[in-house]
């Protein structure tokens, strides 16, 4: 793709999968705006790397769990660059804790950080996409979220990620008439720097493909979903897990 006039807003884009997506799109000429909550140094490095690859870069500290902060960030990108063509919701922190030992704050934080920002940002970005008759929204869920399985050690996170799938389909249904696609990606175990190496190594024997995924495996799917080749792919959930979770 040569998308020199396209703008992507990526939450959680300072590190891991989000950063890999940002750099890939920058190589294709996209302007990239990423936000981060605490990773200021990583955000600056990502912005610099985007610019080195020839794209315009922006890195903004923003807690997208705050609806007003999320709106301000989206408005800033639109104001400075005129539009947002792709919204990629990568932010998705998690913690493991027994359900009956979970705190109220911990429970709420999983929804505030994984599910609600997609709503906050989509409602701001969608009108511009509708006006232009083109847009892409990509949301990140997790492998197994579509199975409604018991997850006693990360229950709130799991429910939030299941909610991402429902929200994705609802947005897709509403926005499809306007040339906008909304899809979800559900990664399994990806070596993105967010999980300890030893934890990933223990999981290899449970993955049918026999190895841990890399960020490029996810980037390839994002590139496809943003392309015109995927114009008729809408409301779907793509597993990137090497067969784990099926």
Query: What confidence tens digit (pLDDT) does each residue in 114-169 have?
Result: 999 999 999 999 999 999 999 999 999 999 999 999 999 999 999 999 999 999 99
The two three-digit tokens of residue 205, written as one number: 């024997």
Asked, for residue 2, whether it belongs to a domain, the answer is no
Residue pair 246/193 in contact by the 8 Å Cβ criterion: no
Asked, for residue 1, whether it belongs to a domain, the answer is no
Confidence grade of residue 195 (pLDDT, cut at 50, 70, 90): confident
Asked, for residue 38, whether it belongs to a domain, the answer is yes
Q: What is the CATH number of the domain that holds 166?
A: 3.40.50.720
Asked, for residue 25, whether it belongs to a domain, the answer is yes
Contacts of 101 (CB under 8 A, 6+ apart): none
Three-class secondary structure of residue 209 per DSSP: coil
The pTM of this model reads: 0.95
Is pLDDT at 244 greater than 70 in this prediction?
A: yes
Domain that holds residue 49: 7-240
Tell me, what's the pLDDT at 193?
Answer: 79
Report which DSSP code applies to 189: S
Catalytic one among 36, 94, 120, 158? 158
CA distance 171 to 5: 25
Residue pair 34/14 in contact by the 8 Å Cβ criterion: yes
Query: Any bridge partners for residue 180, and if so which?
Result: 135
Mode of pairing for the β-strands spanning 135-140 and 213-214: unpaired
The reply to whether 158 belongs to the active site is yes
Q: What are phi and psi of 12, to 5 degrees?
A: 65, 30
Confidence grade of residue 44 (pLDDT, cut at 50, 70, 90): very high
User: How many domains is the chain partitioned into structurally?
Assistant: 1
Q: How do residues 46-63 score in pLDDT, each as one tens digit?
A: 999 999 998 899 999 999
Asked, for residue 122, whether it belongs to a domain, the answer is yes
Asked, for residue 246, whether it belongs to a domain, the answer is no
Q: How do residues 64-107 score in pLDDT, each as one tens digit?
A: 999 999 999 999 999 999 999 999 999 888 899 999 999 999 99
Tell me, what's the pLDDT at 158?
Answer: 97
Contacts of 38 (CB under 8 A, 6+ apart): none
Give me the DSSP letters along 225-242. HHSGGGTT--S-EEEEST
Asked, for residue 245, whether it belongs to a domain, the answer is no
Tell me, what's the pLDDT at 124?
Answer: 98
Mean pLDDT of 186-208: 87
Residue pair 243/207 in contact by the 8 Å Cβ criterion: yes
Is pLDDT at 7 greater than 90 in this prediction?
A: yes
């Amino acid at each position: 793709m040569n998308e020199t006039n396209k703008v992507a807003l990526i939450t959680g884009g300072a590190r891991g999968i989000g950063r890999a997506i940002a750099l890939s799109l920058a190589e294709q000429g996209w302007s990239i705006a990423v936000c981060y909550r605490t990773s200021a140094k990583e955000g600056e490095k990502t912005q610099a790397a985007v610019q080195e690859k020839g794209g315009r870069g922006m890195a903004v500290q923003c807690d997208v769990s705050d609806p007003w902060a999320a709106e301000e960030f989206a408005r800033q990108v639109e104001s400075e660059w005129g539009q947002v063509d792709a919204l990629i919701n990568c932010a998705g922190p998690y913690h493991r804790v027994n359900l009956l030992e979970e705190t109220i704050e911990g429970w709420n934080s999983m929804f505030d950080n994984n599910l609600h920002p997609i709503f906050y940002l989509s409602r701001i970005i969608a009108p511009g996409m509708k006006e232009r008759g083109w847009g892409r929204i990509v949301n990140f869920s997790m492998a197994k979220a579509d199975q409604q399985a018991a997850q006693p050690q990360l229950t709130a996170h799991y429910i939030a990620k299941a909610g991402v799938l429902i929200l994705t389909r609802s947005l897709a249904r509403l926005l499809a008439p306007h040339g906008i696609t909304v899809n979800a990606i559900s990664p399994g175990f990806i070596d993105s720097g967010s999980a300890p190496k030893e934890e990933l190594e223990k999981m290899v024997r449970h993955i049918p493909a026999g190895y841990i995924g890399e960020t490029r495996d996810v980037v390839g799917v994002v590139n496809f979903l943003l392309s015109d080749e995927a114009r008729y792919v809408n409301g779907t959930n793509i597993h990137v897990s090497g067969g784990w979770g099926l």
